[in-house]
Amino acid sequence: MTKIVCQQLAPQIADLDANLELARAAIRAAVDEGADVVLLPELMTSGYVFESSEEVRSVAVTPEHHLFADWAADAARGPAVVIGGFAEQGADGLVYNSAALVDATGVRAVHRKTHLWDREKLFFAPGSEPPRVYDTPAGRIGVLVCYELEFPELTRMLALAGAELIA
């Protein structure tokens, strides 16, 4: 049986260091309780609801940022899979509302939110790639971000691709 732990947290707006510590404590606690999959909130690393583009850019990171190596190290204690949101600084200069799928080996995948909600359009570019399913030790996992669940074609796409869990 797969144990999934959803960590309901309150990240601080534009405080990357505090949010990293909050996330790591939540991952360690879940893994110590036997979690196979740990889910962190949308935009866990940056907080949510920004005042300006500059504010979100100040905490936007790439998938190569050390925080994901930290998540991987914490996941390795299980081993577990961690899925968490972050403001992604794209190589194209745009910022995306993204979710990383991380295991003991590091970042396995990044999904960029394709359907932005309300004021998110002021700060983020929409992702252009459809969601995918990833084989993990905890099963076949598809990743969506929040509002994307309102679009049945996305969940259907993942189901048809064999997702056992849509995170």
Q: Which of 82, 85, 102 is nearest to 37 (CA)?
A: 82
Would residue 88 show up in a list of annotated catalytic residues for this protein? Answer: no
Instruction: Please confirm whether the linkage preceding 152 is cis (ω < 30° from 0).
Output: no
81 burial level (CB within 10 Å; 0-12, 13-18, 19+) = buried
Question: Measured on CA atoms in the order 39, 45, 51, 52, is the torsion positive or negative?
Answer: negative
Active-site residue identified among 33, 55, 120, 146:
146
146 is catalytic: yes
Query: Of 88, 113, 120, 148, which one is the catalytic site residue?
Result: 113
What token pair was written down for 51? 């005042």
What six digits make up the tokens of 164?
Answer: 């056992």
Q: How far apart are CA 139 and CA 126, in angstroms?
A: 27
Active site residue 42: yes
Which one is catalytic: 42, 88, 120, 148?
Answer: 42
Which of the residues are catalytic?
A: 42, 113, 146
